[in-house]
Amino acid sequence: MTSPNLRIAYRFLTAKKRAMVMSLSCTVLGVGLFIVTQATTSGFERFFTKTILGINGAIRIEDKIQDTMRSMAAAGGGDSHFARRDGVKYIEGIEEPQALMAAVREFANVRGVSAVVRGNVQLQSAFKAEDAQVFGIRLEDHLRVSDLAEQVTNGSLEDFRNSPSGALVGRVLADRLQLAVGDSLLISARGASRRVQVAAIYETGYREVDKTNVYLHQPEARSLLKRPSGATFLQISLHDPTRAPQDAARLEQVLRHSVKAWQEREKTWLAVFRALRISTMITVSVFTLIASLAMFNTLAMIVLEKTKDIAILRSMGYERRDVTRIFLAQAGIVLAVGAVAGALLGAAVTWLVSQVPLPINGIFKTDRFIVTWDAAHYAGAVLTAVVMVMVASLIPARRAARLEPGDIVRGTAQ
Amino acid sequence: MSPPPPAPDVAPAWALRSRGLHRHLGQDEGRVHVLKGVSFEAERGQVYAIVGPSGCGKSTLLYLLGLLDRPDDGEIEINGRRMSNHDDAARTAARGEHIGFVFQFHFLMLEFSALENVMMPMRKLGRLPPAAMRERAHALLDSVGLGAKTHRLGTQLSGGEQQRVAIARALANQPAILLADEPTGNLDVRNSNLVFDLLTRLAKDNGQAVVLVTHNPEIAQRCDVTRPMRDGLFV
């Protein structure tokens, strides 16, 4: 330490241990709490987003849009007519999926696109019957728009790939029907029945999906659902899923089909997470405010206790700005130590929280509390601490600098 | 910050000179005219005592002369430079370079050792390299008889020892003027004599003007010049 101001600041601070511990505690807890709340709040949200993107992709194109026009005869007689757009009508499904897929692939942000044929079916195992939905897919296409490869828990995707009459069955559905890999089941739809073999069992963690969805090869599904052409929807994955709403709007405009981004599809759950985030933010803000006030109080007390020292320093030639710097340096030391210690505390608590058993199976599947490790959280926490400490220290530091040495000496001497 | 006027080529005999100083203290009904046009001069190598009853304005005058306070009217010259109208930064710089203070209540920074207290004005002035600062601080503490206690904190020193450290600190930057406000007021007779002897000897050795405010007639008698004050004026 070469700067006399920094040396004095350090000594002032370490001499007042209680005040130093108080200031440090405020900073450490502020930084730590910020990191932990960010890690835990965004952990579940990100995991949910990953889950639903892994199932349904970032964008779905369904139903063709057809403008409904009203035509009227123009006034004044004659053959003149004018037309007016009256609304939109949706024609179910995709008529020409290949042409549409080719057009979709032209969009820069599109990573993959998969045409899916969907239909309601009844499944019959040796033990039980269940209603379900069949999804006819081209496996290679669908692997580019979903996490199906990672979701297989029993059997192998390779078996499904090599078996034209193979089926991928959801975990919950398989349990209900008491199915295992290699078992056969009867699928019935529209008066026709077909026997398929369970090639693999998958689990997305989203219970509704695992309870109803059965994946078949598309030719098999077309045959079963008596749908030789077209598709029910196109599932699209994006390089940057956060841009899905903008891409969806553009796709809808260009392709004249109903296009939905995942943010719109899952807006209910996203609203829940947003509410949770706001609630957490309010908690953190209130704590930060209280911590700032406590710190302000502590630093103001140090200034009050140090008025005599300020007079000594001023009498020795230390300028007002030196006094400001000394008290700001105290805050800076607290900030530097508090930020590092707070980040370590935040990381430690985040790790501990991530070890807490918390079985959830509904909108995603986890056995433990989910946290996110993100450098941005640490940067945000440090930035918040900088603002908190500087705001809390600036007023006491400026007050210290404004003190007149003559007044202090006169007051102390009397 | 307005730059101080250039120093004259030949150092004046007067280290400190003031003319017509006025100072009011308090506000509204409590406002008191403490100094009523006081003029004072201090020559290098001389020891001055300002004496008088409590409330006559001795300390107020001393703080004005030491640029710790601003006069309502009047002029102050330090080493031939008019300082009374300068801004805070220039007055602070002049304090650091030309003036040393010794206060009645020692005013050591108690978190620092005796050595660090003495080095503090030198560190701010930055005229000497760190090793030379340390050497000078040791020499000054030796000269006030505290060579063996350089690393003791202020809290570990007696009142007399603290005052001796304060004297060493006041001399750290070799100021032209040494101002002392009741430097022996808080000490027993033995320590009072010791501190006074130190102040005068060191100041005489270095050719410094010493101005001290005191209630002690024996101390005042031993000074080169005694200036009695009453009701804000020298009498």
| Spatial strand order in the sheet of B14-25 | B32-43, B14-25, B73-78, B81-82
Measured between CB atoms, which of B68, B110, B111 is closest to A405?
B68
Q: Which amino acid is at B16?
A: L
Residue found by looking up tokens 């300020």 in the block: A310
Contact (Cβ atoms closer than 8 angstroms) between residue B104 and residue B182: yes
Within 8 A of A405 by CB-CB distance, chain B residues are 68-69
Range of the domain at A180: 94-231
Q: Which residues pair with A208 in a beta bridge?
A: none
A414 — pLDDT class (breaks 50, 70, 90)? very low
Shortest CA gap B13–chain A (Å):
24
User: What's the Cα-to-Cα distance from B73 to each of A32, A216, B38, B96, B97, rounded to whole Å?
Assistant: 57, 100, 10, 23, 24
pLDDT reported for residue A1: 44
CA-based angle A184:A188:A191, to the nearest 5?
145
Measured between CB atoms, which of A8, A409, A412 is closest to B68?
A409
pLDDT reported for residue A249: 93
Measured between CB atoms, which of A15, A317, A412 is closest to B97?
A317
pLDDT higher than threshold 90 for residue A101 = yes
Burial letters A188-200, b for 16+ CB under 10 A, else e:
ebeeeebebebbb
Specify whether A196 is located in the same domain as A329: no
Within 8 A of A316 by CB-CB distance, chain B residues are 95-96, 101, 120-121, 124, 169
Q: Which residues pair with A238 in a beta bridge?
A: A110
Q: Over the stretch A267-326, which tens digit does the pLDDT of each residue have? A: 998 999 889 888 888 888 888 888 888 888 888 888 888 888 888 888 888 988 899 999
User: What's the Cα-to-Cα distance from B138 to each of B119, B134, B141, B217, rounded to whole Å?
Assistant: 9, 6, 5, 33
Residue A159 within a domain:
yes
Shortest CA gap B93–chain A (Å):
5
Q: What is the mean pLDDT of residues A247-256?
A: 91
Within 8 A of B108 by CB-CB distance, chain A residues are 312
Q: What is the mean pLDDT of residues B32-55?
A: 91
Q: Which amino acid is at B108?
A: L
- Would you state the CATH architecture of domain B14-234? 3-Layer(aba) Sandwich (3.40)
Specify whether A35 is located in the same domain as A111: no
Within 8 A of B70 by CB-CB distance, chain A residues are 406
Residue with the bigger pLDDT between A67 and A396: it is A396
pLDDT reported for residue B217: 86
Specify whether A294 is located in the same domain as A188: no
Contact (Cβ atoms closer than 8 angstroms) between residue B114 and residue B145: no
Listed range (A74-83, A246-255, B138-147, B179-188) with the worst mean pLDDT: A74-83
Within 8 A of B101 by CB-CB distance, chain A residues are 315-316
Best B25, B58, B76, B111 member to test A by mutation, with max A CBs in 10 Å, is: B111
pLDDT higher than threshold 80 for residue A24 = yes
Q: Over the stretch A124-139, which tens digit does the pLDDT of each residue have? A: 988 889 999 999 999 9
Best B59, B65, B68 member to test A by mutation, with max A CBs in 10 Å, is: B68
Within 8 A of B107 by CB-CB distance, chain A residues are 308, 311-312, 315, 409, 412
DSSP 3-state assignment of A58?
coil
Specify whether A42 is located in the same domain as A170: no
What is the C-alpha to C-alpha distance for residues A114 and A109, in angstroms, rounded to an integer? 15
List, in order, residues 6 or more apart from A234 with CB less than 8 Å away.
Answer: A60, A61, A62, A94, A97, A100, A101, A104, A113, A114, A115, A116
Q: Over the stretch B145-199, which tens digit does the pLDDT of each residue have? A: 888 999 999 889 988 889 889 989 998 998 999 999 888 777 778 778 888 888 8
Specify whether A277 is located in the same domain as A395: yes
What is the C-alpha to C-alpha distance for residues A33 and A31, in angstroms, rounded to an integer? 6
Q: Which amino acid is at A266?
A: E
What is the C-alpha to C-alpha distance for residues A216 and A218, in angstroms, rounded to an integer? 6
pLDDT higher than threshold 90 for residue A21 = no
Contact (Cβ atoms closer than 8 angstroms) between residue B206 and residue B125: no
Report the mean per-residue pLDDT for chain A: 87
Residue found by looking up tokens 């004659």 in the block: A78
To the nearest 10 degrees (0 to 180), the angle between helices B114-125 and A4-15 is 150
pLDDT higher than threshold 60 for residue A413 = no
Quote the radius of gyration of chain B (alpha carbons, Å): 17
Q: What sign for the dihedral angle of Cα B77, B82, B84, B88?
A: negative
pLDDT higher than threshold 70 for residue B7 = no
Please answer yes or no on whether A316 and B60 come within 8 Å at the CB atom. no
Q: Over the stretch A185-240, which tens digit does the pLDDT of each residue have? A: 999 998 888 899 999 999 998 888 999 999 999 999 999 998 898 999 999 999 99
Using a CB–CB cutoff of 8 Å, tell me whether B60 touches chain A.
Answer: yes
Tokens matching residue A245: 């709403």
Q: Which amino acid is at A250?
A: R
Specify whether A201 is located in the same domain as A276: no
Boundary of a domain, candidates A231, A261, A295: A231
What is the C-alpha to C-alpha distance for residues B115 and B149, in angstroms, rounded to an integer? 9
What is the C-alpha to C-alpha distance for residues B54 and B98, in angstroms, rounded to an integer? 28
Specify whether A155 is located in the same domain as A219: yes
Looking at the structure of chain A, the number of domains it has is 2
pLDDT reported for residue A269: 87
Range among A26-35, A297-306, A383-392 with highest mean pLDDT value: A26-35
Q: Hey, where are the domains in chain B?
A: 14-234
Within 8 A of A309 by CB-CB distance, chain B residues are 109
pLDDT reported for residue B2: 46
Q: Where are the alpha helices (DSSP H) in A120-266?
A: 139-143, 148-151, 157-162, 171-176, 207-212, 218-225, 244-255, 262-265
Which DSSP helix (H) or strand (E) runs through A216?
Answer: strand A213-217
Sequence-distant contacts of A352-358: CB under 8 A, at least 24 apart: A353/A36, A353/A39, A353/A40, A354/A43
pLDDT reported for residue B1: 43
pLDDT reported for residue A199: 95
| % of chain A exceeding 90 in pLDDT | 43
DSSP 3-state assignment of A332?
helix
Q: What is the number of other CB atoms lying within 10 angstroms of the CB of residue B46?
A: 20
Q: Over the stretch B92-139, which tens digit does the pLDDT of each residue have? A: 989 889 999 888 776 788 889 999 999 999 999 988 999 999 999 999
φ, ψ of residue B27 to 5 degrees: the values are: -135, 160
Please answer yes or no on whether B63 and A308 come within 8 Å at the CB atom. no
Using a CB–CB cutoff of 8 Å, tell me whether B109 touches chain A.
Answer: yes
Residue with the bigger pLDDT between A289 and A35: it is A35
What is the C-alpha to C-alpha distance for residues B136 and B173, in angstroms, rounded to an integer? 10
Q: What sign for the dihedral angle of Cα A392, A393, A394, A400?
A: positive
DSSP 3-state assignment of A270?
helix
A375 — pLDDT class (breaks 50, 70, 90)? very high
Q: By C-alpha distance, which of B46, B43, B13, B58 is closest to B224?
A: B46
Q: Over the stretch A332-363, which tens digit does the pLDDT of each residue have? A: 888 899 999 999 999 999 999 999 988 877 77
pLDDT reported for residue A119: 93
Residues of A with CB under 8 A from a CB of B: 4, 7-8, 11-12, 14-15, 308-309, 311-320, 322, 404-407, 409-410, 412-413
Specify whether A153 is located in the same domain as A219: yes
What is the C-alpha to C-alpha distance for residues A409 and B63, in angstroms, rounded to an integer? 9
Residue A48 within a domain:
yes
Please answer yes or no on whether A413 and B96 come within 8 Å at the CB atom. no
Specify whether A110 is located in the same domain as A193: yes
Tokens matching residue B130: 């760190």
Residue A329 within a domain:
yes
Q: By C-alpha distance, which of B8, B18, B116 is closest to B60?
A: B18
Specify whether A369 is located in the same domain as A304: yes
pLDDT higher than threshold 80 for residue A80 = no
pLDDT reported for residue B165: 92
Best B58, B78, B92, B165 member to test A by mutation, with max A CBs in 10 Å, is: B92
Contact (Cβ atoms closer than 8 angstroms) between residue A171 and residue A207: no
Distance of CA B25 to the CA centre of its chain: 21
Specify whether A277 is located in the same domain as A380: yes
Best B24, B59, B63, B116 member to test A by mutation, with max A CBs in 10 Å, is: B63
Please answer yes or no on whether B181 and A405 come within 8 Å at the CB atom. no
| 3-state SS record for chain B | CCCCCCCCCCCCCEEEEEEEEEEEECCHHHCEEEEEEEEEEEECCCEEEEECCCCCCHHHHHHHHCCCCCCCEEEEEECCEECCCCCHHHHHHHHHHHEEEECCCCCCCCCCEHHHHHHHHHHHHCCCCHHHHHHHHHHHHHHCCCHHHCCCEHHHCCHHHHHHHHHHHHCCCCCCEEEEECCCCCCCHHHHHHHHHHHHHHHHHHCCEEEEECCCHHHHHCCCEEEEEECCEEC
Please answer yes or no on whether B63 and A312 come within 8 Å at the CB atom. no
Shortest CA gap A306–chain B (Å):
10
